[in-house]
């Protein structure tokens, strides 16, 4: 049976995207690809991983899994791992891999992850990536991890971050130049006054990029030979980046289903 181009209509995207966008994927007649499977977003701070994670999670109705959220939830709920991590952080230490992977494993056992999930901020090290590969092989033998690398020149990242503003209530991110709110300085969703993060100054952010280069770039080398590795130009508009990622993922899942 031959392949045919199919138009998929995407509605109700996140801020910055039009309400209805069409893009093409190639699938067999009658075949439906409705879920992305496990997806990992990689990229330097400031490239828009959080925005894309929110968009893709909304698009497919799957959870966004952020290690920051997981950590806060475990600490707030006083789970055994959360209590251990809280003690480490209060002493100024970094949460060790075995604690973090334990919390991620608990989160991946939740039923809402069965159709797929979007990983944002995990793994951060090659060791965590190796753990994730082993975990999926054992617990999700039929799930193929898709790796999306979002690239942008460091100069462009700094320019973007300097103009970034965050809603303190809903955490929606805006950019005063490329993605401004409808009302100057106010969140479109709840009207809260937007703020600039303390670590979004050029000096502080340059240090964050240095840490990324040292600690996280090895992940790109680890995953570059992955069976599904998509590299996208994160300097494009958020809408264009979302469409490029979604189209690439859906085409890949369609090929797997042949």
Q: Check: CB of residue 178 under 8 Å from CB of residue 236.
A: no
* Annotation says 197 is catalytic: yes
Catalytic residue among 49, 107, 160, 165: 49
Catalytic residue flag (residue 49): yes
Give the DSSP H/E element, type plus range, for residue 187.
Answer: none
What is the DSSP track for 93-119?
Answer: PPPPHHHHHHHHHHHHTSGGGTTEEEE
Whether 208 is catalytic: yes
Query: Does residue 123 have a cis bond before it (omega within 30 degrees)?
Result: yes
Question: Which of the following is catalytic: 64, 107, 160, 164?
Answer: 164
- The single residue of 28, 140, 186, 197 carrying the catalytic annotation is 197
Contacting residues for 88 by C-beta, under 8 A, at least 6 apart: 94, 95, 96, 99
Give the HSE-up count for residue 48: Cα atoms under 13 Å, Cβ half-sphere.
Answer: 33
Which of the residues 35, 186, 208, 236 is marked catalytic?
208
Quote the strand ranges of the chain, DSSP E: 4-11, 20-27, 37-42, 64-66, 116-120, 146-151, 164-166, 173-175, 229-233
28, 35, 124, 144: which one is catalytic?
A: 124
> Residues 41, 118: contact at Cβ < 8 Å?
yes
Are the CB atoms for 166 and 51 separated by under 8 Å? no
239 and 18 Cβ atoms separated by less than 8 Å: yes
Return the active site residues: 49, 124, 164, 197, 208
């Amino acid at each position: 049976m031959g392949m045919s181009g199919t138009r998929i209509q995407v509605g109700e995207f996140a801020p910055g995207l039009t309400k209805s966008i069409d893009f093409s994927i190639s699938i067999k007649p009658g075949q439906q690809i409705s879920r992305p499977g496990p997806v990992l977003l990689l990229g330097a701070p400031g490239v828009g991983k959080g925005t894309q994670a929110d968009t893709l999670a909304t698009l497919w109705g799957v959870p966004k899994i952020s290690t920051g959220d997981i950590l806060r939830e475990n600490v707030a709920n006083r789970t055994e791992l959360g209590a251990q991590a809280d003690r480490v952080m209060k002493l100024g230490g970094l949460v060790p891999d075995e604690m973090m992977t334990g919390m991620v494993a608990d989160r991946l056992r939740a039923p809402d992850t069965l159709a797929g999930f979007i990983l944002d901020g995990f793994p951060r090290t090659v060791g965590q990536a190796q753990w994730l590969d082993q975990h999926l092989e054992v617990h999700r033998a039929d799930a193929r991890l898709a790796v999306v690398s979002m690239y942008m020149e460091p100069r462009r990242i700094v320019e973007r971050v300097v103009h970034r503003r965050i809603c303190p209530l809903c955490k929606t991110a805006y950019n005063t130049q490329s993605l401004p709110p409808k009302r100057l300085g106010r969140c479109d969703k709840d009207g809260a006054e937007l703020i600039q993060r303390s670590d979004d100054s050029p000096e502080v952010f340059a240090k964050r990029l240095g840490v990324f280069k040292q600690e996280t770039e090895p992940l790109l080398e680890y995953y570059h030979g992955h069976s599904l590795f998509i590299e996208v130009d994160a300097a494009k508009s958020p809408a264009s980046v979302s469409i490029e990622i979604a189209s690439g993922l859906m085409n890949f899942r369609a090929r797997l289903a042949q």
